Structure 1
Amino acid sequence: MTQEDHVTQGPLTTEAGAPVADNQNSETAGVGGPVLVQDQLLLEKLAHFNRERIPERVVHARGAGAYGTFTVTADVTRYTRAKFLSEIGKETEVFLRFSTVAGNLGAADAVRDPRGFAVKFYTEEGNYDLVGNNTPVFFIRDAIKFPDFIHTQKRDPYTGSQEADNVFDFWGLSPESTHQVTWLFGDRGIPASYRHMDGFGSHTFQWNNEAGEAFWVKYHFKTDQGIKNLTAEEAEILAGKDPDSHQRDLREAIERGEFPSWTVYVQVMPAAEAATYRFNPFDLTKVWPHADYPLIEFGKLELNRNPENIFAEVEQSIFSPAHFVPGIGPSPDKMLQGRLFAYGDAHRYRVGINADHLPVNRPHATEARTHSRDGFLYDGRHKGAKNYEPNSFGGPFQTDRPLWQPTTVTGVTGETVTPVHAEDNDFVQAGNLYRLMSEDEKERLVKNLANAISGVTRDDIADRAINNFRQADEDFGKRLEAAVQALRG
């Protein structure tokens, strides 16, 4: 009999394993009398029920996930020494969690919002977490602004609702958001499903090879199902009819054997080119033009197994950009640097200090060997082993080889703005994106933005928001201004 059979078959028991005689009636003082405190089954069930939920994620609370396989399709050993990328055909188990950003745990899936795209690679050198989105850029470039940004997207502390004033006040005062907002209100702002959208690492990361050479890279996951999106009108209907549309679609596709997949690419920049590149390559509000750094295919990601328990495997899953493996590391991207701390800290608070011990989070192709002990839900896995290093009792030891190559830093400490490159500009790429769109795409983009901005109550906030798009492209701003004026009367 398997462990699962022990849990699901046989007599019902208490949490301590004692058989339950009656699970239908509470113990009382006589027929119809008051309930007795000695009914420990009743108290145990109610107490456990009160504690069934853990704090939801502040962002990316609403999500779905699945297991699958990543397969190497091209040789990238000239760029990285990561073992899971060491040979063509090599397979690595993965867990991928999709999510929306702003909604609470019970929110609808079909909404205009970026989608989280977080991949956990269970490699033989430890877990590697790639925590990205379905967009290659983001709203801000410095993590110190992240709490403020998210506060504008969540419920207002006075009204209890998301407020257009807050959203566009922040975006208007943060011109670096113009590129991402143009993405968000374009056709790809509401994916039809998690299967029909691309994924991106978004940040710049470091790859380093056996010779010690370092490269800056960006990841791209191109959906093999094709891009499919919803119009604002379609999404409004679907969100009301089936709030679980994305989660249901993913689960049922895998149940049918229609395993979704993505072709995985990387852009590679030699480390020495970063300092003189025409704009800051570590700026999360920018994309690297493919003409400068073409996409290099190197893998295939397929999802082929649903989780057995949503709470245990999706809600309690944790992803941290700080989970690197040899051959892969961070970059000076200021948003990434902030996330290296924030994600792990969020999970230590939300799930607990031993969250990495849970089956969905622990390494699958190796084992974690640390000197950390105790804390809530510690399982005693270390038994009597020494809990310090160095020791002379055969305990785990350091390798003396860093996971990534060091980067040169100079200057004095202080609160500094991002270094200025020759073509740094908050509006150029947003304008380029607008000019790439067809006439129909432009009309839908302007309509979507105008509908949102028309909900702003103050003229100065609306005007400032529109002006950012005017600086990206004069026609873009002119159309948007006229559309907003028509809606506001």
Structure 2
Amino acid sequence: MSEPFDNTAGPLTTESGAPVSNNNQSEAAGVGGPLLIQDQVLLEKLAHFNRERIPERVVHARGAGAYGTFTVTADVTKYTRAKFLSQVGKETETFLRFSTVAGNLGSADAVRDPRGFALKFYTEDGNYDLVGNNTPVFFIRDTIKFPDFIHTQKRDPYTGSQEADNVWDFWGLSPESTHQVTWLFGDRGIPASLRHMDGFGSHTYQWVNEAGEQFWVKYHFKTDQGIKNLTSEEAAVLAGQDPDSHQRDLRESIERGDFPSWTVQVQIMPAAEAASYKFNPFDLTKVWLNADYPRITIGKLELNRNPENVFAEVEQSIFSPAHFVPGIGPSPDKMLQGRLFAYGDAHRYRVGANADHLPVNRPHATESRNGNRDGYYYDGRHGGQKNYEPNSFGGPYETGQPLWAPVQVNGATGEWETPKHSLDDDYVQAGYLYNLMTEPEKERLIANLAGFIAKVSRDDIAERAIANFAKADEDYGKRLAAAVAELRA
């Protein structure tokens, strides 16, 4: 005998709350007749179904997320006045979204691609969003090239597929990408899971203490589970057998109480040292050498709660590097500067002008107070409050206290190249990275790169791409050239 239905939820209703008498047969004009437009249950279901999806993210479309806590483990008050960092032992609720970059919403997890590492801190001074990747660097240093770069990673307008010609044509003509490409095609290019990879703020940010002293900072999240990666061969099998492998692993690990965690570290540079550092400290294609600015452990990040609804909390979650709190601000990093606009603009288009009102996005430890009203999905939360400032009706007021410190600028406006420092070029750090690798790691790097470059249809594009790696390291270039030649023979 079958178990009885659990009817404790009450009767099924329409969106307006009216009970539904029949959810299995549409209303028809007689037995076997055509359906009737008066069947509002049917029309409501179909109309809502047609509108269930929102535009997917242009990049970082495929993602997984979880809630957690960030706990301060070291005193950093001499560097920043951010309240959520003000006391050892202090805990702040967080939401972390992982993602691949180039793939569509339905693509596989186990692919060679950077991973987004977008972290929201629900602080008492509002939400602080730290938007980074699982690599400390990126392919380009100026946001104006971002649409061009992403177009090469997406589907070709003629073939409808990703094309090796487009990818390597752009990378070959953009030698600043050599460092990140070396990261991407090395062993860490395909993480075994989201739990077994590091995260980075990637950009340089400003910290300001109570005295107004400025520091430049880079964030590092070192996985406590250890680094684990997949080879190209392992990933190809896994992506075909289980496209949701990374999302499932994260969810199931939290369900069984195996909460993933990361040790949070920062590199801190006094603001006065930026101008004379050997590399431009605001260039996203470069790292700061640990020997120059050692990593300092400041906290622990743990993920311990899964979302209840993936669409509501992961797909509709929004992150913007413009979401700062007092004591933290931007730097002159050209990629960061463009993203301060682009991320918020993308979310207003994709989710709507009131995306910040959704539970996953709104502040949890304080409330938002401003004159923004109306638009799609406005919930009327402000009631009859005045929507202008200043007002004499008890409305919110400006504080006169900037979140971050001003940065001195001078010179004429113009489309300037990123300033070069003493050791700046597009190849040196890629060479450093290559020479940090073991011989087996180098062999896999060469094989991964060669397998992709060999798909290029034009010799000049392949040769230009190889030449960039040769400028990073002579051995690197020679071995890659030989491997590509063998595959193209």
- Shorter-chain TM-score bucket reads over 0.9
Question: What is the TM-score normalised by the length of structure 1?
Answer: 0.98
Written as runs of structure 1 = structure 2, the 5 A alignment for 1:264-279 is 264-279=264-279
For 2:179, the equivalent position in structure 1 comes to 179
Residue type at the aligned position of 1:286: K
2:164 alignment counterpart: 164
Counterpart for residue 223 of structure 2: 223
User: Which residue is 2:144 aligned to?
Assistant: 144
Q: What's 1:239 paired with?
A: 239
Name 1:372's counterpart in structure 2. 372
SS at match of 1:384: coil
SS at 2:347 equivalent:
helix
Secondary structure, in 3 states, of the residue corresponding to 1:263? strand
2:301 matched residue in structure 1: 301
Question: 1:47: which partner in 2?
Answer: 47
Partner residue, 1:200: 200
Secondary structure at the aligned position of 2:366 is classed as coil
- Consecutive unaligned residues of structure 2, counting only runs of 5 or more, are 1-6
Greater Cα offset, 277-286 or 415-424: 415-424
Distance 1:278 1:288 in 2: 9
Residues 358/77 of structure 1: CA separation in 2 closer, same or farther (3 Å cut): same
Is 1:127 the counterpart of 2:127 in the alignment? yes
Mapped contact 2:279–2:288 kept (Cα < 8 A): no
Task: Report the AA paired with residue 410 of structure 1.
Answer: N
Q: Alpha-carbon deviation of 1:9? A: 1.1
1:112, 1:27 → 2: CA distance? 51
Q: What code does the residue aligned with 2:181 have?
A: V
Aligned partner of 1:38 in structure 2 is 38
Tell me the amino acid that sits aligned with residue 381 of structure 1: R
Any conservation in 1 of the 2:254–2:260 contact (CA below 8 Å)?
Answer: yes
The residue that corresponds to 1:84 in the other structure is: 84
- Could you tell me how far 1:198 is from its partner in structure 2? 0.1
Q: Tell me, in whole angstroms, the C-alpha distance in 2 between the residues paired with 1:83 and 1:335.
A: 27
Deviations 1:394-423 (A, max 9, x none): 100001000000000000111111112111
2:434 is the counterpart of 1:449: no
Residues 346-378 of structure 1, C-alpha deviations (whole Å, 9 max, x = no match): 000000000000000000000001110000000
> Partner of 2:195: helix, strand, or coil?
coil
Partner of 1:155: 155
Distance 1:443 1:420 in 2: 32
Q: Tell me how far apart the structure 2 counterparts of residues 61 and 170 of structure 1 sit (CA, whole Å).
A: 22
Aligned length: 483
Q: Can you list the C-alpha shifts for 1:198-221, whole angstroms capped at 9, x where unaligned?
A: 000000000000000000000000
Cα deviation digits, residues 118-140 of structure 1 (max 9, x gap): 00000000000000000000000
CA distance in structure 2 between the partners assigned to 1:441 and 1:30 by the alignment: 72
Q: Does structure 1 conserve the Cα–Cα contact (< 8 Å) formed by 2:279 and 2:423?
A: yes
* One-letter code aligned to 1:305: R
- Tell me the equivalent position of 1:332: 332
Cα distance in 2 for residues equivalent to 1:421 and 1:487: 39
Give 2:308's aligned amino acid.
E
3-state DSSP class of the match of 2:476?
helix
> How many Å separate the matches in 2 of 1:59 and 1:8?
42
Q: Deviations over 1:16-60 (max 9, x none)?
A: 000000011010111111100000110000000000000000000
Corresponding residue of 1:322 = 322
Q: Which residue of 2 aligns with 1:406?
A: 406
Q: Note the alpha carbon deviations across 1:404-460, whole angstroms, 9 max, x for none.
A: 000000001111111121111110000000011000000000000000000000000
Q: Structure 2 counterpart of 1:324, which letter?
A: F
Rounded Cα–Cα distance in structure 1 between residues aligned with 2:352 and 2:83: 30
Show structure 1 runs of 4+ deviating over 3 A.
Answer: none
What's the TM-score, normalizing by structure 2? 0.98
How far residue 278 of structure 1 moved from its aligned partner, in angstroms, is 1.3
Give the Cα–Cα distance (whole angstroms) in 2 for the partners of residues 9 and 455 of structure 1: 57
Unmatched runs of 5 consecutive residues or more in structure 1: 1-6
Identity score, percent:
82
Matches of 1:477 and 1:252 in 2, distance apart? 43
Structure 1 counterpart of 2:75, one-letter code? D
CA distance in 2 between partners of 1:8 and 1:322 (Å): 45
- Tell me, in whole angstroms, the C-alpha distance in 2 between the residues paired with 1:37 and 1:406: 62
